[in-house]
């Protein structure tokens, strides 16, 4: 999970989203706004809707070359995901800044779960609305979940590249940063899916092989074109977080330290 470089949506699409949002906001009560947000989002979030076609195209661009999910990076991103769930926050159901592109397993798993950080104590408060509960506005507060459009997840979590290929919080236990990291790992099930951990491990083997190839070509008499090709391949491979972590942790990982010493410029790939 990496920080997403936000793209700009066309003015026409931004205007259309604002129009959709005004309609939701115009409902009298919070309960009506929640209901309207759901029905209107289902109505507009279709391939035949030009605004959502533009939204999806821009989100796909933001995912990078292989259009992987912004959370797990493993499966194809094909669902417009609300960072703040529309069931709780109808006021941002059509807000461009609230959109991510996610895969079904991530989007479905997260669903309407959401927690906020309680001001003052720094404790996380679960504001998920239980089935059958009264539809009232959630407690106010900053998001507990790490938002990859605004924050760099790697400031909060670190990937174990030597053994488990699981994420753990970077900060000390007891801190708000730790709680937020822990919550994010749990809600997005970043460690639970064994096939994702396996894919991270494979990605590392593949990145390492490509980096070795890059060093070999660059130090030999290969054509510039071939060197650039290997570099591009590294930059466009799935699981870019694995690559980011390889750069961050290389100094304490023997064979990687040697490779990056041979090609320090690869730290900027």
9 is an interface residue for Zn ion by CB under 5 A: no
Shortest separation between residue 66's beta carbon and Zn ion, angstroms = 13
Question: Is residue 71 within the footprint of Zn ion (CB under 5 A)?
Answer: yes
Interaction of residue 145 with Zn ion, rule CB under 5 A: no
Residue 106 sits in the site that holds Zn ion (CB under 5 A): yes
Give Cβ neighbours of residue 208 (< 8 Å, ≥ 6 apart): 246, 255, 256, 259
Nearer to Zn ion among residue 71 and residue 260 (C-beta): 71
In the complex, least distance from residue 100 CB atom to Zn ion, rounded to whole angstroms = 10
207 lies in the site for Zn ion, by CB under 5 A: no
| Residue 101 near residue 62 (C-beta atoms within 8 A) | yes
Residue 59 engages Zn ion in binding (rule: CB under 5 A):
no
Q: Which pair of tokens denotes residue 268?
A: 């900027």
CB 73 within 8 A of CB 239: yes
Backbone CA torsion sign across 228, 232, 233, 234: positive
Q: How far is the CB of 134 from Zn ion (least distance, A)?
A: 32
Options 4, 16, 34, 72; binder of Zn ion; rule CB under 5 A:
72
Of 103-111, 165-173, 234-242, 258-266, the window that binds Zn ion (rule: CB under 5 A) is 103-111
Cβ nearer to Zn ion, comparing 20 with 114 = 114
Number of neighbouring beta carbons within 10 Å of residue 143? 17
Q: Tell me the backbone φ, ψ of residue 124, rounded to 5 degrees.
A: -90, 135
Q: Does residue 103 touch Zn ion according to CB under 5 A?
A: yes
- 77: closest CA among 58, 50, 96, 49? 58
What is the binding site for Zn ion (CB under 5 A)? 69, 71-72, 103, 106
């Amino acid at each position: 999970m990496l920080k997403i470089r936000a793209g700009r949506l066309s003015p026409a699409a931004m205007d259309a989203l604002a129009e959709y949002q005004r309609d939701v906001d115009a409902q009298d009560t919070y309960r009506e706004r929640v209901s309207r947000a759901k029905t209107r989002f289902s109505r507009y979030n279709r391939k035949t809707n030009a605004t959502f076609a533009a939204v999806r195209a821009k989100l796909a661009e933001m995912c990078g070359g292989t259009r992987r999910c912004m959370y797990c990076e493993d499966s194809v991103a094909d669902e417009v995901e609300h960072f703040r769930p529309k069931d709780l926050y109808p006021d941002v159901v059509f807000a461009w800044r609230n959109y991510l592109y996610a895969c079904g397993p991530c989007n479905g798993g997260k669903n309407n779960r959401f927690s906020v950080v309680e001001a003052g104590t720094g404790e996380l408060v679960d504001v998920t609305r239980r089935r059958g509960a009264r539809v009232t506005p959630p407690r106010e507060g900053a998001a507990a979940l790490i938002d990859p459009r605004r924050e760099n997840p790697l400031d909060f979590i670190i990937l174990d590249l030597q053994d488990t290929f699981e994420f753990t919080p970077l900060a000390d236990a007891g801190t708000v940063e730790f709680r937020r990291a822990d919550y994010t790992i749990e809600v997005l099930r970043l460690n639970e899916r064994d096939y994702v951990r396996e894919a991270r491990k494979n990605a590392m083997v593949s990145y390492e092989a490509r980096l070795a190839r890059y060093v070999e070509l660059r130090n030999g008499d290969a054509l510039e074109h071939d060197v650039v090709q290997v570099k591009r391949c590294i930059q466009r491979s799935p699981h870019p977080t694995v690559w980011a972590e390889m750069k961050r942790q290389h100094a304490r990982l023997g064979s990687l330290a040697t490779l990056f010493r041979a090609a320090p410029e690869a730290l900027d790939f």
